[in-house]
Amino acid sequence: MSTDLFSPVTIGDIKLTNRMVMAPLTRNRADEHNAPHDINVTYYQQRATAGLIITEASQVSPEGVGYPGTPGIYSDEQVAGWKKITDVVHAEGGHIFIQLWFCGRVSHPDLLPDNQTPVAPTAIQPAGETVTFEGMKAFVTPRALEINEIPGIVAQYKHAAERAKQAGFDGIEVHAANGYLIDQFLRDGTNQRTDQYGGSVENRMRLLNEVLDAVTEVWPGNRIGVRLSPENSFNDMSDSDPSEHFGYFVSQLNVRNLAYLHILERDMMSKSVNVDYRDLRNRYNGLYMANSGYDKTRANTSLGNGDSDLVAFGVPFLANPDLVYRYQQDLVLNDADSDTFYGGTEHGYTDYPFFEKAVT
């Protein structure tokens, strides 16, 4: 039997009806308490036919915030909001993991408690600007974390994992990609520490390993995913040898018996591909989730060739709540309105038509 998007797959003890994953998509539509509310419930319910939904990145603590209007998973109110979402996704027969997030150096004092300085492995100011409640502002120079502070960060991930279980999620994804805190430790362009968290690949992976050790006390490994982005330069990131370094990281993750490894297979900023992702896939013994602007044809080719086991779709799911049905029937897709990607109301969020409505 050939493997394609519509063939079932089992993640741990979860049976997915298809291999189409809704990628994590920041939409900046949480309420004033960084909690999900009714509009978010509708959004996720509409897309529950995905084999698996990975939620938008959700901060593990107030100190982990990096953008306005993003949800967290640490307060009672946030848990209650997410519980409404997991309930409706499950009622529709779907499955949903939450992505755990700590933004680190790409945050801004305007977004953090008591206007504190963002933290990072090393005090290197990113080039560029970030979004605040008052508009775009230049990144600031972050504060390098002291060694005795790092256990507190790890504890925040564990607490968020516990809260995710209370909220009814099927599992969690640790966001170690796209220039956020764990990725800042992994890559040598942002990690210039000389202690046990810097220098060698073993040391640079220490924070990720400690986070995984902590959340595995809450969830079994086969309910935990990890996302990596070896060559993504988003958020002013770089690494001297991503193929070699991430080859090591991926190989080390084999001991974890994870639900899956989720890889962004390109640079978001230039769309270039300079890493051999088939080699990374070969180094990993578990389920490999590909993410790189895939369409149906590319995804089926990847699955058929054994280059991936699942494929994550971002913008297509954003604009097409019934993407699974449209791909199954080879139907035309809705066009995405990039002006409504971030923030706003129902427009460009929950008002994209299903195919039946689009033709009547």
Measure Cα distances from 301 to 1, 4, 291 in Å: 15, 8, 14
Q: Is the pTM of this model over 0.85?
A: yes
Q: Does the structure show a pLDDT above 80 at 259?
A: yes
For 267-278, b/e burial (b = at least 16 CB within 10 A) is bbeeeeeebebe
Q: How far apart are CA 82 and CA 40, in angstroms?
A: 9
% of the chain residues with pLDDT over 70? 99
Question: How does pLDDT run across 165-208, given as a tens digit for each residue?
Answer: 999 999 999 999 999 999 999 999 999 999 999 999 999 999 99
**pLDDT classification of 2: cutoffs 50, 70, 90:** confident
Q: Does the structure show a pLDDT above 90 at 251?
A: yes
Average pLDDT, the chain: 97
Question: How does pLDDT run across 263-298, given as a tens digit for each residue?
Answer: 999 999 998 899 999 999 999 999 999 999 999 999
Q: Does the structure show a pLDDT above 50 at 360?
A: no
What angle, 0 to 180 degrees and rounded to 10, lies between the N-to-C axes of helices 76-91 and 38-46?
Answer: 30
Q: Are 315 and 287 in contact (CB under 8 A)?
A: no
The secondary structure element, H or E, covering residue 182 is: helix 181-186
With tokens 């564990």, the residue in question is: 158
Question: How does pLDDT run across 140-150, given as a tens digit for each residue?
Answer: 999 999 999 99
R_g over Cα of the chain = 19
% of the chain residues with pLDDT over 90? 98
Q: Does the structure show a pLDDT above 60 at 109?
A: yes
**All domains of the chain in start order, with CATH:** 9-358 (3.20.20.70)
**pLDDT classification of 356: cutoffs 50, 70, 90:** confident
Which runs of E-coded beta strand occur in the chain? 9-11, 14-16, 20-22, 52-59, 96-101, 119-120, 129-132, 135-138, 143-144, 171-175, 224-228, 260-264, 288-291, 310-313
Q: Clarify whether 180 is annotated catalytic.
A: yes
Q: Are 259 and 223 in contact (CB under 8 A)?
A: yes
Question: How does pLDDT run across 8-30, given as a tens digit for each residue?
Answer: 999 999 999 999 999 999 999 99
Question: What per-residue confidence (pLDDT) applies to 359?
Answer: 52
Question: What per-residue confidence (pLDDT) applies to 35?
Answer: 98
- Report which of 80, 74, 75, 95 is spatially closest to residue 17, judged by C-alpha positions: 95
Which residues have C-beta within 8 Å of that of residue 112, sequence separation ≥ 6? 62, 63, 65, 118
Q: Which of 44, 67, 180, 277 is catalytic?
A: 180
**pLDDT average, residue stretch 93-103:** 98
Q: Does the structure show a pLDDT above 90 at 209?
A: yes
DSSP three-state, residue 120: strand
Q: How far apart are CA 304 and CA 222, in angstroms?
A: 24
For residues 48, 51, 57, 60, the Cα torsion angle rounded to the nearest 10 degrees is 100
**pLDDT average, residue stretch 203-230:** 98
- Report which of 299, 84, 306 is spatially closest to residue 316, judged by C-alpha positions: 299
Question: What per-residue confidence (pLDDT) applies to 260?
Answer: 98
Q: DSSP character for 72? A: B
CA atoms within 13 A on the CB side of 322: 17
Which residues have C-beta within 8 Å of that of residue 32, sequence separation ≥ 6? none
Question: How does pLDDT run across 68-90, given as a tens digit for each residue?
Answer: 999 999 999 999 999 999 999 99
